[in-house]
Every structure is written in structure tokens, then in C-alpha cells.
Amino acid sequence: MKTEKIFFGKTKDTRDSFLYTLSNKNGMSLSVTDYGASTVSLIVPDKNGNRLDVIRGFDNVSGYENTPTYMGATIGRHAGQIWHGTFELNGETYKLVINDQDHTMHGGPESFHSRLFTAETYSENELVLSYFSRDSEAGFPGNLNVKVIYRLNEDNSFSIDFHAVSDKDTILSMTNHAYFNLNGENSNSALDHKLKIYSDSYTEVDMQGVPTGKIIPVKGTVYDFTNFHTIEERINEADRELKFCQGYDHNWVISPVKDNVTRLCCELINRDSTIHMQLFSNQPGLQMYSGNYMTGEKGKNGVLNSKRSAICLEPQVFPNGLKQPHFPSPVLKKGEEYFYSSLYKFI
């Protein structure tokens, strides 16, 4: 195992950004930048011995500063939408910045994805990135200390752990927004991937993509991934929610969390069945986003990140959770530790 640190460019406010690469003895490597605690690349050996980069990203920090797609970023304080950019907590109303139609998406335009994290430690198999989010930053209450821990393992898996503590009651729902294409960086579509989601229901969305509060069984719908099938198989069917979202951008209900135990959420297999990824998490929901709004930006090595050229699999608390009392709560109490873990395993 080894870790490398290289200069990744200067931010718009002239601060230095760095890229950290963890590598194992099997030829697998994970690269992460301190800007947004974002994934940049993931090199995975396939079953034929080829080494493929299966995560989309940019060549330098400016790409991450300028993208509207949250490419590879750590998301916080709140993944997904907050309806009309307001929430109530302990009798107070908090107003956030609107950045997604009439709503706040992923914590607003100046949340964790746009912050420079501090690399506290980096070793042969671990990178610890930290960030202090001050009280009222982006409109959220509480001084919040955040740590994001990346680990690369010798069994060709990597994990992301999120830790946080606040000095006030607040809301927190973090995730990672990596864009996966298991065919490698030269593939212009991820719709030929086979996907299985360990869920029998999903949260219905309205015409702006916000969960309505209804939990719908997937059986007999375009949202049924209880058995492996390709993402493209039903994505163009005449379904009103697919029309609203221009494809999949939905939250599936995973089994209730007990004692923070991680469990298998989904599996993804590439076109040629040479790379098979399993995703484990301790979160109650999984957002699958089929890259409907990717803009064709030039990414690493000149590759265009075109529409649906990659997909996101985001373990999370359900979007818009404070508006729906029967949804899992995103409230983090003063002094309590927030802990969320995900594990990506290649078999």
C-alpha cells in the first residue's frame, strides 16, 4: 500500500489544492482531492486484467469549482431537496438559499461540495479530511465539525466514513456524489449497466423531483430493480415521474437501520460483466441518478461527461425528510455524533 500527494491547482481565492492517491497491491487505486472532499478517479482491475478508471472527474481543482454537477463531491449539510428552502427546528424557521427550481438542493450553492477540506492525516491506506462549518453557514444552525475518512483495502474495496458533531441541534444528511461508469472512461453511456437494488419500495416525487411523502411499492413499475436488469431497459417508458426527472433520479427505501449496521444496498455490473461492484451502507435510502443533467463538460484526459455517461448511487436519508414526519429524521442533536459509512466492493 502507498499514498501519493500532488499539487492539484489553485482555487479561485488562490489557495493550494492537493490530490491524494491510495493504492493497493492488486493494482487498484483511489484518488481524492481536498476540494469538496471529492473523488477524482478509481482505477479497478477487471476480470481480464485491464485497469479501468470507473469514476468520472476532472484534471484539476478548477473543474470541481466550476461544475454544476457535484462531480464526486461530499454532499452536505443536506443531500437532496429541502422543499422551498425552509425548515423548522425547535420552534425556529430557517431559510436557505434556493438553487433548484423553488427548492434547496444538496445544502445550497455554497455547501460542502464547494469547500476546501483539510487533510488531517494520510497514510498507506487512509485519508482523513476535515472541515469546520460555522453556525449559520448556508443558513444551517450549529457549529459543525466534519470528518470524511477514505480507506482503500487489499480486498479491492474502499470505504467512506462520515463523522460530525454540532454544538446546536441541526439537520445533517451527507453522502458522496461519485459518478460511476464501470465500462471505463472511454465509454459514453452507463445505461447498459445491469443494476440490482435491495428495495421493494421508493419515494414518489412531484413534477419538480421532490418527494411527496408517498412510499410506493416497486413491483410492476419502472422502479423495480429487485432483479438485475439494465438501466436503459425501462428508462424511456411512459412514466410521469421519469418524464419529470428526465430519467431516474429517485430514492429507494432500504431496510430500516439498526445499530448502524451496514448492509448490501445495490449491485452494479458493467456491459461485459468484467467489473461487478457491491455497495453497502448504514443509510435508510439510496438515490439512483442516471446522469440526466450531465452537461458534456470536458473531464479527465479530455473525456466529455455527456448526458447519462455515468450514474450516481448515493446512500442517504430521504430527501425532504423534515417535511414528512414518517420519513427517517435528518435531525442531529447537540453533542451527538453523526456516523454514516458506505463500502464499495469489487468482486
Residue 333 pLDDT more than 60?
yes
Identify the CATH number of the domain in which residue 127 sits.
2.70.98.10
How many whole angstroms separate alpha carbon 317 and alpha carbon 322? 10
The pTM score is 0.97
Q: Is-catalytic flag, 314?
A: yes
Q: Is-catalytic flag, 250?
A: no
CB 71 within 8 A of CB 58: yes
pLDDT digits (tens, 9 = 90+) for 294-313: 999 999 999 999 999 999 99
For residues 232-248, average pLDDT: 97
28-37, 131-140, 254-263, 287-296, range with the lowest pLDDT = 254-263
Cell of 5: 500527494
**3-class secondary structure, 308:** coil
CB 99 within 8 A of CB 109: yes
For residue 258, the model assigns a pLDDT of 67
Residue 193 pLDDT more than 70?
yes
For residues 16-27, average pLDDT: 96
For residues 280-287, average pLDDT: 96
Range of the domain at 280: 2-346
Q: What angle do CA 155, 146, 258 make, to 5 degrees?
A: 60
Counting the structural domains of the chain, the total is: 1
Mean pLDDT over all residues of the chain? Answer: 96
For residue 28, the model assigns a pLDDT of 97
pLDDT digits (tens, 9 = 90+) for 44-57: 999 999 999 999 99
Q: How confident is the model at residue 255 (pLDDT cuts 50, 70, 90)?
A: confident
Instruction: Match 489557495 to its residue by C-alpha cell.
Output: 15
Cell of 95: 431559510
Residue 15 pLDDT more than 60?
yes
Q: How confident is the model at residue 257 (pLDDT cuts 50, 70, 90)?
A: low
pLDDT digits (tens, 9 = 90+) for 101-149: 999 999 999 999 999 999 998 887 999 999 999 999 999 999 999 999 9
* Catalytic choice (103, 106, 113, 177): 177
Residue 240 pLDDT more than 70?
yes
Cell of 63: 473543474
